[in-house]
Amino acid sequence: MFNTEYPALGDDVLVAKEMAERLGGKTLSDLLHALWRGDCQTCGSSLISGPISVYAEIMLVMGHVSLHHPTCQVPLWNDGDGGGVIFCRPSLGDHVTYLHTSMIVDGIPIVLLNVSLEMASLSLDHDDKWYVSNVPLFRDYHKMFPGGPIPMPPLQPAVGISLEVSEDAIDIRSPQTWRIRPGAQVIDAVRRNGGLLLAISSMYHGQHMTPHVVNKVLQHPERTALGWISLRATPAPGAPAAEYAIYRNRHFTVAGLVLARNRRVDMAGEEAKEWGKGRAREFDELPAPSFIDHPVAYDDELSRWFMDAISLGMYVVVPAADGWRLIKSYSRFGERLPDTELSEWAGRVMQRKSHHRMAAVEWVAGPSSNAGEIMLSHVLPSDS
């Protein structure tokens, strides 16, 4: 372990020796320049000052790196001695901070978005060398373009990213939801243009970002991805309520959004997983193929987990008395949470991660089965 210093993080950045050796100097530098002080990805409290621990969770050919207090997580390259991560942190990603700014250039609304201050993605290239893949993943899978001069020629719409506009907010989904409140002028411009120009960049951090600096970020060809996002129709009045779920059995506890239901009670776990992948791809508008089986899943005899290779988002199909449910995981534990902690934990998760406004979350018993218990909460579209 050693201390290092980078402009984005300041001094006292603690990096495991194995991480430095595996990544090499350039990739380590790229990685630490793509991370910013936000919240600890273990406890959720601020990392604004003091030492920072860098933790990498590697899953064969990809992985994610996150920032923590050293007292919460020691610096570590966690790859299970090369065979895939041996322990998946259940809270990883629960405290991610995203930042954005918006503007109008020549009548075109633009949103600049850093989807994660405290986490970054890694991928192996064809030469088995690691590279920072936050922005390349968006470019490759969503058919976005490198950063360039603004305004620029019309772009083909990005794949797998949708846009919804309400009276005072914009929701960008891919497949997670980023809610922004850019003001009435930008929202009006989005409606007039039928969409917006989205810039995804790990360079944007919100501090001392003058218009000149923002313009440089938008034009960076390697650390910024640009794509046109078309406006999506809003749900019609009377549309069904969104369903959220807590599911737990002796192997795991998960809380998240129910994306789909299947009333076939005779379906086996592997068949259910393939059905779930198809529905998740349809719901989240993901390019195919983008799913991989999670290498350290909490599978039991029936439930099956899989992961989106673009966002590292987790999905699980679980059995119930009335068939199967596909749940988009907002948070999970590799153990059965007790009753005393269950609803409070799930309520915090929903208030933080749901794209609906959920001031209070009420759970009711669902159609549980011998395989596990399910609790449900419903939110009407008008609450979004």
* Residues whose CB falls within 8 Å of the CB of residue 171, separated by 6 or more in sequence, listed in order: 163, 164, 165, 177, 178, 179, 355, 384
pLDDT of residue 73: 92
Tokens read off for 266: 């005779």
Stronger pLDDT, 291 or 296, i.e. the higher one: 291
User: Over 50: is that where the pLDDT of 380 sits?
Assistant: no
Distance CA 333, CA 90 (A): 5
Task: Report the pLDDT value the prediction gives residue 31, as an integer from 0 to 100.
Answer: 94
Distance in angstroms (rounded) separating the CA atoms of residues 363 and 374 = 10
DSSP string, 227-295: EEEEBPPPPPTTPPPEEEEEEE-SS-EEEEEEEEEE--TT--HHHHHHHHHHHHHHHHT--SS-EEE-T
- Residues with Cβ within 8 Å of 14's Cβ and at least 6 positions away in sequence, in order, are 1, 2, 3, 51, 52, 53, 54, 70, 75
Q: Residue 187: enclosing H or E segment and its boundaries?
A: helix 184-193
Q: What is the pTM of this model?
A: 0.68
Q: Give residue 204's identity as a one-letter amino acid code.
A: Y
| pLDDT per residue as tens digits for the range 328-343 | 888 877 777 787 778 7
pLDDT at residue 91 tops 60: no
Question: Residue 314: exposed, middle, or buried by beta-carbon count in 10 A (0-12, 13-18, 19+)?
Answer: buried
The per-residue pLDDT for 227 is: 92
Phi-psi region of 82 (alpha: psi -120 to 50; beta: other; left: phi over 0): left
Note the pLDDT of residue 14. 94
Segment 268-286 mean pLDDT: 82
